[in-house]
Copies of this chain bind each other. A is one copy, B any other.
């Protein structure tokens, strides 16, 4: 019951999981704020309960209120999301995706980030990946 079932989420469920992943952890009110055209408090509450039942979230009590936390660690979720985008839009090519990222208008990377990236690429190359 606590294992996150690999099933597709509904629209709202997706929105809520996204909100929580961007925040890391969140209370009902915080999630609600992030939703487009915020539904009622209890609507959100209900969805959170469902997500918890499905095993995507767990909660802790904090200051007498619940804080919801993803059961799937952010890194895994990230990877899954990236792979999905790769598959659907880049024919699975990570290189293609990276190229697209570099093309973003508002990239704004710092010099340091450029250096780190260049280094990461060289490292990946050496490791033959």
A residues near B, CB below 8 A? Answer: 8-11, 14-15, 18, 21-22, 36, 74, 77-79, 81-85, 87-91, 94-95, 97-102, 104-109, 111, 113-114, 116-118, 120-125, 129
Asked whether A90 and B117 contact (CB < 8 A) given A101-B98, A124-B102, the answer is no
Work out how many copies of this chain go into the complex: 2
Contact indicator A94/B101 (Cβ below 8 Å)? yes
Partner of A11, one of B10, B87, B91, B109: B10
CA distance A95 to B102 in the complex (A): 9
Q: Which residues of B contact A79 (CB under 8 A)?
A: 100, 104
7 A-B residue pairings within 8 Å (CB atoms) = A78-B90, A94-B107, A95-B109, A95-B117, A98-B101, A107-B129, A118-B118
Asked whether A82 and B81 contact (CB < 8 A) given A101-B98, A125-B111, the answer is no
Q: Which residues of B contact A108 (CB under 8 A)?
A: 129
CB distance from A65 to the nearest CB of B (A): 23
Contact indicator B18/A8 (Cβ below 8 Å)? no
Q: Which residues of B contact A10 (CB under 8 A)?
A: 10-11
